[in-house]
Amino acid sequence: MNASYQQIPQAAGREIRSDGLVTRKLLLQCAGEIFARRGYSDTTSKEICERANATVGSVNYHFGSKAGLYREILTEVTQRILRLEMLEAIAVSRRPAKEKLEEILDTVLAAQASQDWQIRLFFRELASPSAEFINYLSQDASSKTGIIKRILSEILGATADSMVVDQCFLSVFSLCSFPYMANANVLANCISPTSCEAAALHSHIKRFILAGLDVHVAR
C-alpha cells in the first residue's frame, strides 16, 4: 500500500514536468514567429500565450518576463546562424585558414537562405535593432567575432585588431547577409530571380569573398 502510494506522485510529477517542457517549447516557437513578424515592442505576452494556447501568465512563469523570453529567443537565433562550439572546433583544427573560413561561410549562408523565423528575426533586428538585441550582442557577439577575425588575420597576414581585418570582416558580413535580408521585390528590379537561387548565389558569394581576400594578401 505504501509502495503504490509513493508511485502515484512520482508519475504525476514526471507528467507535469513533461507538460511544462512542452509548453515552454511551444511558447518559444510561437513567440519567435510573432517577434519575427512584428518585432519585440509590438508583441505582448498575452498574445504569445494565446497563440501557444497557454494560460495567461505562462510567459512570466517559464521565463520571468517578456524580456527573459526574448533573451532565450535571441540565443536560439544566434545559435541557428552560427554556434560558438562549432566555431571553436573550426578554429583549433589544423586546416588552412581559408578552409576554415569556407566552412563558416557554408554554415552561415545555408542558415540564412532557409529564411526560418530565427533568420527573419535576426534580419529584422539588423535593420531596426531593439535595446534588448543590442544588449544581447554586447555579451554574445564578441567571442564569435573574435574567432572569425583571427581566421581572417591568418589569411591576410595582419593582426586581428587591425583596420584591414575589421574592414574585411565587415565586407564578409555584408556579402553574406544583404542578399537574404533585402526585399525580393527590390532585388527583382536589379537582377533576375535565377541569379538569387540559393545554391548559385551561395557559391558566388564564397568565390567573391575569397578572391577579395586574395587581393588584400597580394598588396
Say what the pLDDT of residue 19 is.
64
Say what the pLDDT of residue 85 is.
94
Angle at 22 between CA 18 and CA 24, to 5 degrees: 115
Say what the pLDDT of residue 216 is.
83
Helix H or strand E segment including 128? none
Read off the pLDDT of each residue in 186-201 and give the average, rounded to a whole number.
84
Say what the pLDDT of residue 149 is.
96
Show the cell assigned to 9. Answer: 506522485
Read off the pLDDT of each residue in 62-79 and give the average, rounded to a whole number.
94
pTM as predicted:
0.82
Say what the pLDDT of residue 48 is.
95
pLDDT tier, 88 (very low <50, low <70, confident <90, very high otherwise)? very high
Best CA proximity match to 178, nearest among 137, 123, 104, 118? 123
CATH superfamily to which 2-64 belongs: Homeodomain-like (1.10.10.60)
Read off the pLDDT of each residue in 39-60 and give the average, rounded to a whole number.
93
Give the rounded percent of residues in the chain with a pLDDT score beyond 70: 90
CATH superfamily to which 81-218 belongs: Tetracycline Repressor, domain 2 (1.10.357.10)
- Mean pLDDT score of the chain, rounded to an integer? 87
Domain ranges of the chain: 2-64, 81-218
Q: Confirm if 100 and 151 have CB atoms less than 8 A apart.
A: yes
